[in-house]
Amino acid sequence: MRILVTGGCGFIGSDFIHMLLTDMPDVDICNLDSLTYAGNPANLEGVEGRFAGRYTFARADIADLSAVERILAEQRIEAVVNFAAETHVDRSIADAAPFLHTNVLGLHALLTAAQRRGLASFVHVSTDEVYGSLTPEAPAFTEADPLVPNSPYSASKASGDLLCRAWHETYAFPVIVTRCSNNYGPRQFPEKLIPFMYFRACEDQPLPVYGTGKNVRDWIHVRDHCRGIWLALTRGRPGAVYNFGGAAERSNLTVVHRILDFCGKPASLIRFVADRPGHDFRYAMDYSLARRELGFAPSRTFEQGLAETLDWYRGNPAWISNVTSGAYRTFLKTWYGDRL
Ligand code: NAD
Ligand code: TYD
């Protein structure tokens, strides 16, 4: 199968490419990525050489319809998995425009090109954040729950999910949407909670915990998420939506304490700072549909996966200095200001 993976230089897309090239000898991949601040070619270092003839890279914007159409044709693509997105909630609060460009208009161009070409498989990677926020006692989100996004990021992702629905209902286009909880693992850009807190703890910098730190996320290892996406691509029902989760609800404070323990650093580094506006309190996923229809189940406990992940960051200092460049430092100053 020849697959177009978009956003393959990002955190999850690169893990998906590593997994397929290593485990699925019959799969060839074209990685289409515009290389935003979050797109890091070092995430796929050595892949072109090790998997010669099975991997190509095309630098393009998913919103560029003619470029996407050309790549689908030239690469003789049979399936699309769309990871490309603007993904950081805090950045969406500062400026929503790039989120609407990629997560809505970009997805529209991809769907249009794929439908015109008559592709039989298209997986759009979405998020639990489209469902909004849960109270502590509420049952986990199911696919039947309404979309109630609260941040510009989640609103743009929910809009994308609705476009997918419309493409299935209107054009019978066989798109599948997957919604997953918070991922962690190697190669995550260090604006997200786990690598961010780890790098700061290593440097004895204060750790800015929003609000009370009691907000809850359900954590899943990136490889478990990627296995779920592969199952959706190969066994999923066209038009379906599948939730994936890690069965690992933890408060932010619990996660930060575990990182401090791993680094051997004191809790006095924690600094409670002004909350994120519109901060969702809790996410939790009911993934029984994916278990039943796809055979999906997460394979790692959070504690095991977190230790492996932090070991990876510890063992890859060159990767870290590569991503924490000047632009990253500027973002931190602009976003956190005097909260740090
Ligand atoms: P990321 O920010 O690490 O990477 C995004 C990638 O998309 C980058 O390589 C970037 O260069 C590329 N990109 C951005 N705009 C583009 C455009 N217009 N054209 C082409 N490429 C573009 O993101 P991630 O954490 O790997 O997330 C991947 C997908 O998974 C996203 O759709 C996200 O919404 C979804 N998701 C993420 C999580 C999570 O916890 N990280 C959880 C659930 C769902
Ligand atoms: P994040 O990794 O940004 O993912 P998301 O907002 O998409 O869930 O944040 C995870 C949680 O950690 C979220 O509740 C916000 C919180 N958080 C902090 O408390 N401080 C921080 O500096 C960051 C980046 C996140």
> pLDDT tens digit string along 287-330?
999 999 999 999 999 999 999 999 999 999 889 888 887 888 88
Q: How far is the CA of 290 from the centre of ligand 1 (A)?
A: 22
pLDDT, one tens digit per residue, over 136-147 is: 999 999 999 999
Mutate to test the pocket of ligand 2, among 93, 193, 340 (most ligand atoms within 8 A of CB): 193
Question: How much is the pLDDT for 32?
Answer: 98
Q: Up-side HSE of residue 21: CA atoms within 13 Å toward CB?
A: 23
Question: How much is the pLDDT for 325?
Answer: 77
Tokens 């629905």 locate to 165
* pLDDT band (50, 70, 90) for residue 339: confident
Question: How much is the pLDDT for 324?
Answer: 82
Are 36 and 63 in contact by the 8 Å Cβ rule? The answer is: no
Are 33 and 39 in contact by the 8 Å Cβ rule? The answer is: yes
**Mean pLDDT of the 242-260 span:** 98
Could you tell me where the beta strands, DSSP code E, fall in 113-172?
Answer: 121-127
Question: How much is the pLDDT for 340?
Answer: 78
pLDDT, one tens digit per residue, over 204-246 is: 999 999 999 999 999 999 999 999 999 999 999 999 999 999 9
pLDDT, one tens digit per residue, over 168-200 is: 999 999 999 999 999 999 999 999 999 999 999
Nearest CA-CA partner of 301 in 290, 309, 293, 291: 309
Mutate to test the pocket of ligand 1, among 6, 11, 157 (most ligand atoms within 8 A of CB): 11
Cβ-Cβ contacts under 8 Å for 39 (sequence gap 6 or more): 7, 9, 10, 33
Find the radius of gyration of the CA atoms of the chain: 19
CA distance 12 to 187: 8
Catalytic residue among 131, 153, 184, 283: 153
Token pair listed for 273: 């700072």
* pLDDT band (50, 70, 90) for residue 201: very high
Q: Is 128 a catalytic residue?
A: yes
CA distance 174 to 154: 23
Are 307 and 184 in contact by the 8 Å Cβ rule? The answer is: no
Token pair listed for 322: 């590569």
Q: Could you give the 3-state DSSP secondary structure of residue 150?
A: coil
Q: Is 153 a catalytic residue?
A: yes
Question: How much is the pLDDT for 336?
Answer: 94
Give domain limits for the chain: 2-187+220-248+281-300
- Cα dist from 20 to 159, 230, 306, whole Å: 29, 9, 23
Q: What angle do CA 45, 47, 52 make, to 5 degrees?
A: 145
Are 192 and 258 in contact by the 8 Å Cβ rule? The answer is: no
The ligand 1 atom nearest the CA atom of 189: 3
Question: How much is the pLDDT for 206?
Answer: 97
Q: Is 92 in the pocket of ligand 2 (CB under 6 A)?
A: no
Are 30 and 77 in contact by the 8 Å Cβ rule? The answer is: yes
Q: Is 210 in the pocket of ligand 2 (CB under 6 A)?
A: yes
2-187+220-248+281-300: which CATH number, 3.90.1570.10, 3.40.50.720, 3.40.228.10, 1.20.120.1200?
3.40.50.720
Could you tell me where the beta strands, DSSP code E, fall in 173-267?
Answer: 175-180, 182-184, 207-210, 216-221, 241-244, 249-251
Please tell me the chain's helix, strand, coil percentages from 3-state DSSP, rounded to the nearest 5: 50, 20, 35
Question: How much is the pLDDT for 90?
Answer: 97
- Cα dist from 110 to 62, 152, 176, whole Å: 6, 21, 14
Q: What angle do CA 203, 209, 210 make, to 5 degrees?
A: 145
Q: How far is the CA of 177 from the centre of ligand 2 (A)?
A: 24
pLDDT, one tens digit per residue, over 52-108 is: 999 999 999 999 999 999 999 999 999 999 999 999 999 999 999 999 999 999 999
Nearest ligand to residue 192 Cα: 2
Question: How much is the pLDDT for 214?
Answer: 98
pLDDT, one tens digit per residue, over 15-53 is: 999 999 999 999 999 999 999 999 999 999 999 999 999
* pLDDT band (50, 70, 90) for residue 134: very high
